[in-house]
Amino acid sequence: MEKKILIVDDESHIRMLIEQTLEDLEDEGVELLFAENGRQALELIIEEKPNLVFLDVMMPEMNGMEVCHKIKKEHNMEDVYIILLTAKGQEVDRQKGMDMGANKYMTKPFDPDEMLAIAEDIINQ
């Protein structure tokens, strides 16, 4: 079965950075998908059922927390691994993200090596 990773951020340069970080996985047959807002992300997750989602928190139309909540709590898609990406590193934000169903929380700027290692780990489970 094909593995998929969805990259969601309203800033194109961040999507591109994450794509460059994960592009080696494409050689292993992993498909990279992209969305630039929460609504697009929600539709893609339901349609494509990616293994992993890197999800920006602060976005127009629907923020990452809402997307995460809808996927995990309303659509019961527990097997989709969601990593929230945010510039807000406070513990209260982190806790809110986990309460919404996120599997992990990474603060920007993120470490590309760490991001790739996590992605490889989840994809190979």
Q: What angle do CA 10, 34, 90 make, to 5 degrees?
A: 50
* Sheet containing 52-56: order of strands: 30-35, 3-8, 52-56, 81-86, 104-107
Whether the per-residue pLDDT at 92 is higher than 90: the answer is: no
Whether the per-residue pLDDT at 1 is higher than 80: the answer is: no
Query: How many helices (H) and strands (E) are present in the chain, helices listed first?
Result: 5, 5
For residue 19, the model assigns a pLDDT of: 97
Give per-residue pLDDT as tens, 14-59. 999 999 999 999 999 999 999 999 999 999 999 999 999 999 999 9
Q: How many domains does the chain have?
A: 1
Residue 42's contacts (CB-CB under 8 Å, 6 or more residues apart) are: 62, 67, 70, 71
Three-class DSSP category at 55: strand
For residue 91, the model assigns a pLDDT of: 84
For residue 66, the model assigns a pLDDT of: 96
For residue 3, the model assigns a pLDDT of: 96
Domain residue limits at 115: 3-123
* Mean pLDDT over each residue of the chain, to the nearest integer: 94
Q: What is the DSSP string of 73-119?
A: IIS--TTSEEEEEES---HHHHHHHHHTT-SEEEESSP-HHHHHHHH
Q: Give the N- to C-terminal CA distance of the chain in Å, as an integer.
A: 13
pTM of the model: 0.95
For residue 87, the model assigns a pLDDT of: 84
State mean pLDDT over 62-89: 93
Do the Cβ atoms of 81 and 49 come closer than 8 Å? Answer: no
Which of 43, 46, 47, 48 shows the shortest CA–CA distance to 32? 48
**CATH number for the domain including 55?**
3.40.50.2300
